[in-house]
Structure 1
Amino acid sequence: MTTAASRPEELLLPAAVTGADSATLSLPADFGSEKAAWAFVDATLDRWRCTALAPRVHTAVGELVANALEHGLSGVDAEPFPHPLVVAVLSEGPDLLCAVFDPGPGLPAKSAGHGLHVVDAVSDAWGWTEPGPWGKGVWAAVTRSGGGPAPATVQRLLLLAEFFTGNEQPRLVTAKAAPSVTGLL
């Protein structure tokens, strides 16, 4: 883990960053974060006029935040850097990709509880980023077509992974891949 003395200050983000096709929200490391994440996802999908996928994205993000709170923060310093938790939602046309970044180095395990089984059930593809010095991200693709995330969305997720995990060569690991994802990641 990066110590407070070596923190590059330019990595500190405002609480919420939104754009035409991406939005991120920094969350505190407490159990009220799940409700804040749901409200953020709902508002973002409303703004993008993409509410048809909202129930699936809402469910995936809720489970990813709950898992990050339970597993991604255990054994981490009281003030994790560069973030406690970050929720990201990326859009490419009608398809969405959501990710939750946490400071923990441990990899997700479906055997650890029911949360990732739920993510698996509501997503078309899901996985995680290889951990870096500042943590990892767990992501889920939710599409209208039943396929995986668009290549441009994957590239944006890799940029976020580099930023939030400190991994200079981020790589996505796929736990469940839609047929169109196989050659993409």
Structure 2
Amino acid sequence: MPSSAYPVLRPLSELAAADAPIRPVAPAPRERPRPRDHGPAAGLRLVCDRAGFARARAFTRETLRGWSLADRADDAVLVVAELAANAAAHAAPAVAGPAEVRLGISLVPGALLLSVTDPGDDAPVPAPADDRVLREHGRGLHIVDTLADTWGWLPRPPRGKTVWARLPARPPT
């Protein structure tokens, strides 16, 4: 049921204007994969630092290679890197000591489901679109939105959230 804490995700194609703001939201219940729909799954706990990000990228690439999906690895690695960087930048500072995030990769019918769970409670918010295409920060969720079929987030009570992205299992033709 939609609420301010659990809004319904709208496909980008339904946005009124191409320049409308991207709003990350949680998936509608019918969009969540049911456990019996899942294929293989893999997970990794990592610390938010350079070594942890390198492990996340290598883990994603190796996992997809093992599933014979190496052709999807570049997009998946970029999405994982952006989600992990957002967790480090926005969620990790709220935690005392080194923040730990969890990376999840699962294969659902026709798609890869990538997720990063972090200790932050705030919803991910894309930076406003502007004409500064060469800016260094603030483009990550726009990149995720471009590469993913859909994406959103789920609260993880008592604390934290999972930000997820669904990528097609087959490359675009």
- TM-score, normalised by the number of residues in structure 2: 0.66
Note the residue ranges of structure 1 that are not aligned, 5 or more in a row: 1-19, 147-185
- Alignment RMSD (CA, Å): 2.1
Q: What residue is the counterpart of 1:61 in the other structure?
A: 80
Q: What residue is the counterpart of 1:15 in the other structure?
A: none
CA distance in 2 between counterparts of 1:39 and 1:145 reads 20
Instruction: Please state how far the C-alpha of 1:94 moved relative to its aligned partner.
Output: 4.4
Q: Residues 144 and 44 from structure 1, CA distance in 2 versus in 1: closer, same or farther, beyond 3 angstroms?
A: closer
2:42 to 23, 31, 49: 23
CA distance in 1 between counterparts of 2:109 and 2:67 reads 10
Rg larger for: 2
Letter in 1 for 2:149: D
Q: What residue is the counterpart of 2:158 in the other structure?
A: 133
Greater RCO (CA < 8 Å, at least 6 residues apart): 2
Q: What residue is the counterpart of 1:46 in the other structure?
A: 65
* Identity across the alignment (%): 34
- 8 Å CA contact 1:33–1:65 kept in 2: the answer is no
Is 1:37 equivalent to 2:37 in the alignment? Answer: no
Q: What residue is the counterpart of 2:101 in the other structure?
A: 85
Is 1:122 equivalent to 2:147 in the alignment? Answer: yes
- TM-score, normalised by the number of residues in structure 1: 0.62
CA distance in 2 between counterparts of 1:93 and 1:52 reads 17
Counterpart of 1:111 in 2: which secondary structure?
Answer: coil
- Number of residue pairs matched? 125
CA distance in 1 between counterparts of 2:40 and 2:141 reads 26
